[in-house]
């Protein structure tokens, strides 16, 4: 029997790397394979309304096909697009890890497998002296990292793996997310082969140096911007998500 609760924390090397896409697609794929998946986005910032259909929490809940209370799926929903600690300050709130743990325990009692998505990178502060890394330790979950397949992705990925493992957190693997060519390189595009070389180098070196399974690249899916549900379905059917689901199931079930 695993010493971990049945579940996984989805962490990012940074903000905007595709954590919600990966979490939603993974929950959808596992759900379709008969796994009773529960989802959490413990803290979400940058919300205009608590019940926005486009919020990460609502999207995760829809992908996992669950009707759990939104207050359990996302205990803290804050309006300003800032790091959680500062967004909470502006809202006159203090984020309480025990409240998150209580919501997690409630959801975990209803589902056979939990996916919990972070916000930003693992050292983003939740409260003074408390980061998402500390929350992962308290939850007792192994972690999947989502990173960019881009110039800089090697450093970001290795730093994140090291920072997690220093705290005894098991890293199941890293998912490399494909982004558009325009975002993929800081080098002027006089040579169109350079971005592809950078992607291949990032993938190869992380496989050589990270010491964890490297999944991907996850294909860039433009449909996500036009129709989120259909875009997530396409991602869920990709080879990279198939590999990720198999990896998760091998370790958890």
User: What average pLDDT score do residues 61-83 get?
Assistant: 94
Residue 39 belongs to some domain of the structure: yes
Structural domains in the chain (count): 1
Range of the structural domain that residue 17 is part of: 7-252
pLDDT, position 180? 60
Three-state secondary structure call for residue 71: helix
Residue 2 placed within a domain: no
Residue 1 lies in a domain: no
**What's the alpha-carbon Rg for the chain, to the nearest Å?**
17
Measure the CA–CA gap between 62 and 133, rounded to whole angstroms.
Answer: 27
Catalytic residues, by residue number, are: 41
Q: How confident is the model at residue 54 (pLDDT cuts 50, 70, 90)?
A: confident
Residue 118, CB half-sphere, CA atoms under 13 Å: how many?
Answer: 32
Instruction: Give the model confidence (pLDDT) of 175-192 as tens digits.
Output: 999 876 444 444 444 556
Position 149 in a domain: yes
The 10s digit of each residue's pLDDT in 86-115 is: 999 999 999 999 999 999 999 999 999 999
1 pLDDT above the threshold of 70: no
- Looking at residue 183, its pLDDT comes to 43
Domain-embedded: residue 231: yes
Identify the band that residue 75 occupies on the pLDDT scale cut at 50, 70 and 90. very high
Specify the CATH number for the domain of residue 106. 3.40.50.300
Is 240 among the domain residues?
Answer: yes
**What average pLDDT does the segment 139-150 reach?**
95
Does the model's pTM come out above 0.85? yes
Query: Which residues have CB under 8 Å from 172's CB, separation 6+?
Result: 8, 142, 143, 144, 212, 213, 247, 248, 251
């Amino acid at each position: 029997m695993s010493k971990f609760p049945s579940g996984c924390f989805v962490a990012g090397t940074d903000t905007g790397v595709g954590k919600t896409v990966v979490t939603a697609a993974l929950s959808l794929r596992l759900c379709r394979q008969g796994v009773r998946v529960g989802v959490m986005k413990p803290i979400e910032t940058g919300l205009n309304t608590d019940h926005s259909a486009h919020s990460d929490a609502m999207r995760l809940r829809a992908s996992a096909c669950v009707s759990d209370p939104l207050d359990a799926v996302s205990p803290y929903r804050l309006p300003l697009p800032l790091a959680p600690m500062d967004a909470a300050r502006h809202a006159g709130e203090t984020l309480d890890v025990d409240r998150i743990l209580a919501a997690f325990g409630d959801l975990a009692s209803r589902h056979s497998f939990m996916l919990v998505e972070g916000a930003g990178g693992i050292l983003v502060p939740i409260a003074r002296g408390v980061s998402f890394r500390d929350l992962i330790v308290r939850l007792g979950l192994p972690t999947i990292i989502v990173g960019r397949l881009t110039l800089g992705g090697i450093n970001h990925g290795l730093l994140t793996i090291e920072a997690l493992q220093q705290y005894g957190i098991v890293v199941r693997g890293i998912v490399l997310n494909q982004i558009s060519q325009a975002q993929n390189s800081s080098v002027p595009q006089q040579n169109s082969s350079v971005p592809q070389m950078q992607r291949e180098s990032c993938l190869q070196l992380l496989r050589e140096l990270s010491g964890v399974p490297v999944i991907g690249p996850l294909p860039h899916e433009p449909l996500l911007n036009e129709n989120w549900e259909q875009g997530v379905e396409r991602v869920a059917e990709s080879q990279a998500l198939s590999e990720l689901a198999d990896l998760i199931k091998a370790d958890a079930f």
